[in-house]
Amino acid sequence: MNLLPHQYPSIAYYSVLMAILIALTGCQQSPKAIGTIEGGKVADGNIALPCKFGEDKTTTTATDKSRIILTLDGSASMVGYAKDGNSHYVQTLKLLDRVSLAAPGGVEYARIDTGRRSIDRTEFQKSFGAGFYTGQTSRLADTFPDLKTVKGEQLIAVVTDLQPDDGDVNAVSKRILEDYLKKDGYAVAIWGIGSEFEGKVYPPNNAPAYDYAGKSTATSRPFYILLVGKYEAISEFTKTIRSADSSSLLKDRSQLTIFTADRTIANPSYLAASEDNLPKGITSPDSLSQDRFSMENGEQPIQFLEVNENSNSDKQALKYTLKYQANPDTAAPNQLEPRYQVRKYNEEKEKPAFVDRSDKSLLDINSSLVDDKLGVEMKFDPEKIDRGLYYVTADLTARSIQAPAVWKEWDDGGKKDGSKTQGLNDFLNSLSINTTSVMKEKSPVVARLCYGIQRN
């Protein structure tokens, strides 16, 4: 076909116009959803899928300003620990003194028997001998002042045999609960240490005293250091004690547990690869895409699941083993409860978004915690999932804790065994119950599971 000369500019114009349109069309990117750290942002037009938690703003270092309040039980039931001037008890007091003197916040000394009173260091050093322990009663609950009356931050360290004369260890636990555990970031630790002992054991509730002598590791009588204050201060103090323990006082018979409502977890756990093969009709691609809209993980621990029409009609299950990342020495949760957030892509072109669904029954997650292993089983029913794209997060929250089982070996069970402590289980159970009551409001997240699901 021959073209007239005046037709050439028209053809050139339309060719350029088409090229521009094609180029613009190629440059236009469809919106997509991208995994982010919680609070993170994505480019305009895209949708953020928050998964990992951001930096914990609540964690602070309290040791630089916490004043150590070193308090001694001065009742007569402590005499047996100090008859041997080189006992583990006396050596531990000296260790506590050395570490406390070096504390950046300084140290104060106190004595508890019929009540609490401040003492100077000269009087504290008398506790290295039996003559210090002349008190007729031991009112441990009075050791812990109301925080409202305290100026500055304190770490209270109480050395005692946990045998208050009124026998009411629950009163001690209740005082700790009301004045400390309910406050953000506070904790209580119990540190049991075996020591040589020769003297009378005074059981609680004014039960008859009995003689006891224990000079070996197997027969040593335990005493306890109660630590109450900010979790970070307790953690740093115990690390320093262990580091300064050049005589290995804490090596043979020692047990430490920290009770805290909101510092149990060092870091939440996140999804790892499923241990089992995927069920029939289920695939786990690197991304999801439907109607030109895509979901990408953005290097977040999001598992994508694509549910096809030929998937099994029965409920499917995926199993995982995650590492439980606890803070050292903290009492572990014995009950984890899943908390779900289910969102579905709304497919609206003008304002695409993932919209919360009131129905949270898309997934069913069960978990178990054994030592440092967190077993997780995720179940879902393909037939109950409508076509579309979903983003689901499940937070496994700690709802209760319990003291380690090893502490049961430290309780005498009412058998007048001087190598153990009467009423210890009651005290530990009380601490567990009180900490659990606080956890119902604070509920630390042990693990977060993030899923992108596509139903074809």
C-alpha–C-alpha distance, residues 153 and 441, integer Å: 24
Q: What is the dihedral of CA 301, 305, 306, 312, to 10 degrees?
A: 170
Cα–Cα separations (whole angstroms), residue 227 to 108, 164, 224, 398, 414: 14, 17, 10, 23, 26
Give the pLDDT band (50/70/90) at residue 346: confident
pLDDT at 24: 43
C-alpha–C-alpha distance, residues 159 and 96, integer Å: 10
CB neighbour burial string for 34-52, b if at least 16 within 10 angstroms, e if fewer = bbbbeebebeeebbbbbbb
Judge whether residue 18 has pLDDT over 60: no
pLDDT at 182: 87
pLDDT in tens, 171-181: 788 888 888 88
Give the pLDDT band (50/70/90) at residue 22: very low
Higher pLDDT, 6 or 136: 136
Q: Which of 114-123, 200-209, 417-426 has the lowest mean pLDDT?
A: 200-209
C-alpha–C-alpha distance, residues 208 and 142, integer Å: 24
Judge whether residue 150 has pLDDT over 60: yes
pLDDT at 20: 43
Higher pLDDT, 142 or 360: 142
C-alpha–C-alpha distance, residues 89 and 346, integer Å: 67
Judge whether residue 355 has pLDDT over 60: yes
Judge whether residue 37 has pLDDT over 80: yes
Judge whether residue 6 has pLDDT over 90: no
pLDDT at 1: 47
Query: Residue range 110-123: average pLDDT?
Result: 93
Judge whether residue 19 has pLDDT over 50: no
The answer for residues whose C-beta is within 8 angstroms of residue 163's C-beta and 6 or more apart is: 77, 138, 201, 202, 203, 204, 421, 422, 423
One DSSP character per residue, 277-307 reads: PPPTTEE--SEEEETTEEEE-TTSSEEEEEE
Higher pLDDT, 44 or 255: 255
Q: Are strands 221-230 and 282-283 parallel, antiparallel or unpaired?
A: unpaired
pLDDT at 163: 85
Most confident of 179-188, 190-199, 346-355: 190-199
Give the pLDDT band (50/70/90) at residue 160: very high
Query: Residue range 66-82: average pLDDT?
Result: 95
Query: Residue range 308-330: average pLDDT?
Result: 84
Give the pLDDT band (50/70/90) at residue 62: very low
Judge whether residue 234 has pLDDT over 90: yes
C-alpha–C-alpha distance, residues 285 and 80, integer Å: 68
Q: What are the residue boundaries of the structural domains of the chain, listed by start?
A: 66-261, 266-401+444-455
pLDDT at 313: 63
Query: Residue range 335-346: average pLDDT?
Result: 92
Judge whether residue 119 has pLDDT over 60: yes
Higher pLDDT, 339 or 144: 339
Give the pLDDT band (50/70/90) at residue 129: very high
* Mean pLDDT for the chain overall: 86
Share of the chain above pLDDT 70, in %: 88
Query: Residue range 440-455: average pLDDT?
Result: 91
- In CATH terms, the fold of domain 266-401+444-455 is Immunoglobulin-like (2.60.40)
Q: Which of 11-15, 314-318, 347-351 has the lowest mean pLDDT?
A: 11-15
C-alpha–C-alpha distance, residues 255 and 235, integer Å: 14
Query: Residue range 282-288: average pLDDT?
Result: 92
Judge whether residue 204 has pLDDT over 60: yes
Query: Residue range 14-41: average pLDDT?
Result: 65
Judge whether residue 236 has pLDDT over 50: yes
Judge whether residue 146 has pLDDT over 80: no
HSE toward the beta carbon, residue 392, CA cutoff 13 A:
30
pLDDT in tens, 374-424: 999 999 888 888 889 999 999 999 989 989 999 999 999 888 899 999 989
pLDDT at 274: 67
C-alpha–C-alpha distance, residues 138 and 112, integer Å: 7
Reported pTM:
0.86
